[in-house]
């Protein structure tokens, strides 16, 4: 269990504590984590900043970083141009990549820069455990930020450093992060680290076609706990919705271990009907 609070402006300790309580209520447990310790401590990203800074030094020495002085307005103009978008937003056009040292020095007098990673010009390919073989065009998404102008490290850099340091072999996450994977694979290569295997599972969508979220009712774990819903009811609902069991029935998280197989998970997202929501909410 790792607490990813690298964005300190949006992270609160009381919410982190609640998240651990919710997961334990659901029936999940972990051998290592911020509340139990372990050989890869610390398990809270805000306590691992020195490791991210060391990774930046290595990338800098390899010539893969450059300062970016682009304003929000300039990036917004890029975002308004027609192009395909994923979770990572519009491709960065490389505006600051070719600045001379003199130009960088002059601009730094007026604005603190962010730090961008210069992607290479080769295509990125990997075999996803759910989505199948992926081949991403050279430089897709453009150079990306690894440290913001306000000093906060990016998610991309932090998870790569942490996963490698903690010996993570398999990453299973939502399909909305599929287009993050090529960026992370480039970081693994540049840092000379071994990447894990990736599997991206489809999202659940509400009756309105939007990603299932709080707007669809009291479906947060905290709300379900407070309503008196049994954790087995929630686990069974999630297992059925994700294809791990054939019918909706209460089941403990520990009982699902033997049922878990990646090939049971559909490759496209499921739309959760009003009837399914009623079953979850009782």
CB 230 within 8 A of CB 250: yes
- Confidence band, pLDDT 50/70/90 cuts, at residue 83: very low
| Interval 96-143: pLDDT, tens | 999 999 999 999 999 999 999 999 988 889 999 999 999 988 777 899
Say if residue 188's pLDDT is above 90. yes
What pLDDT does 77 receive? Answer: 64
Q: Where does CATH 3.40.50.620 sit in the chain?
A: 31-201
| Interval 210-256: pLDDT, tens | 887 766 566 788 888 998 999 999 999 999 888 899 988 999 999 99
Say if residue 76's pLDDT is above 80. no
CB 146 within 8 A of CB 154: yes
pTM of the model: 0.89
| Interval 14-57: pLDDT, tens | 989 999 999 999 999 999 999 999 999 999 999 999 999 999 99
Mean pLDDT of 169-197: 95
* Residue 220 vs residue 152, higher pLDDT: 152
Mean pLDDT of 192-217: 85
Q: What class, spelled out in words, does domain 31-201 have in CATH?
A: alpha beta
Say if residue 183's pLDDT is above 80. yes
What pLDDT does 88 receive? Answer: 59
Mean pLDDT of 77-102: 71
Mean pLDDT of 190-214: 89
- Burial string for 131-146 (b: 16+ CB within 10 Å, else e) reads beebebeebbbbbbbb
Rounded Cα distance, 125 and 59, in Å: 22
Rounded Cα distance, 224 and 221, in Å: 5
Mean pLDDT of 55-81: 84
What pLDDT does 186 receive? Answer: 95
17 labelled catalytic: no
Question: Tokens 């081949």 map to which residue?
Answer: 135
Which member of 147, 214, 247, 278 is catalytic?
Answer: 214
What pLDDT does 277 receive? Answer: 74
Task: Please provide residue 114's backbone torsions phi and psi, each rounded to the nearest 5 degrees.
Answer: -85, 175
Say if residue 75's pLDDT is above 80. no
Say if residue 85's pLDDT is above 50. no
Lowest mean pLDDT among 55-59, 79-83, 92-96: 79-83
Mean pLDDT of 169-183: 94
- Confidence band, pLDDT 50/70/90 cuts, at residue 144: very high
Query: What is the secondary structure of the chain as a DSSP string?
Result: --B----TTT--HHHHHHHHHHHHHHT---SSBTTTB-TT---BGGG-HHHHHHHHHHHHHTT-EEEE---HHHHHHHHTSS---BTTBSPP--TTTT--HHHHHHHHTT---EEEE---SS-EEEEETTTEEEEEPTTTT-SEEEE-TTSPBPHHHHHHHHHHHTT--EEEEEGGGGGGHHHHHHHHHHTT----EEEEEPPEE-TTSSBP-GGGSS-SHHHHHHTT--HHHHHHHHHHHTTSSSS-----GGGGGGG--GGGS-SSPEEPPHHHHHHHH-
Q: Where does CATH 1.10.1160.10 sit in the chain?
A: 204-281
Has domain 204-281 been given CATH number 1.10.1160.10?
A: yes
């Amino acid at each position: 269990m790792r607490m990813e609070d690298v964005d300190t402006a949006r992270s609160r300790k009381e919410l982190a504590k609640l998240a651990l309580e919710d997961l334990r209520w659901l029936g999940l447990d972990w051998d290592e984590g911020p509340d139990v310790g372990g050989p890869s401590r610390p398990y809270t990203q805000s306590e691992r900043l020195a490791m991210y800074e060391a990774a930046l030094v290595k990338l800098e020495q390899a010539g893969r970083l450059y300062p970016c002085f682009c304003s929000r307005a300039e990036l917004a103009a890029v975002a308004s141009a027609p192009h395909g978008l994923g979770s990572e937003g519009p491709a960065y056009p490389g505006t600051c990549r070719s600045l001379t040292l003199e130009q960088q020095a002059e601009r730094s007098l007026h604005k603190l820069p962010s730090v961008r990673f210069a992607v290479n010009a080769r295509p990125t390919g990997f075999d996803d455990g759910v989505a199948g073989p992926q081949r991403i065009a050279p430089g897709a998404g453009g150079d990306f930020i690894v440290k913001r102008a306000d000093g906060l490290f990016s998610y991309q850099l932090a998870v790569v450093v942490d996963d490698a340091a903690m010996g993570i072999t398999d990453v299973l996450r939502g399909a909305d992060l599929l287009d993050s994977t090529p960026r992370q694979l480039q970081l693994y290569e540049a840092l000379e680290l071994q990447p894990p295997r990736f599997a991206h599972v489809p999202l659940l969508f509400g009756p309105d076609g939007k990603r299932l979220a709080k707007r669809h009712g009291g479906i947060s774990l905290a709300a379900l706990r407070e309503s008196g819903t049994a954790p087995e009811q929630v686990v069974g609902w999630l297992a059925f919705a994700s294809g791990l069991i054939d019918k909706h029935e209460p089941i403990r998280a520990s009982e699902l271990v033997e049922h878990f197989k990646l090939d049971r998970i559909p490759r496209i997202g499921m739309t959760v009907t009003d009837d399914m929501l009623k079953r979850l909410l009782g």
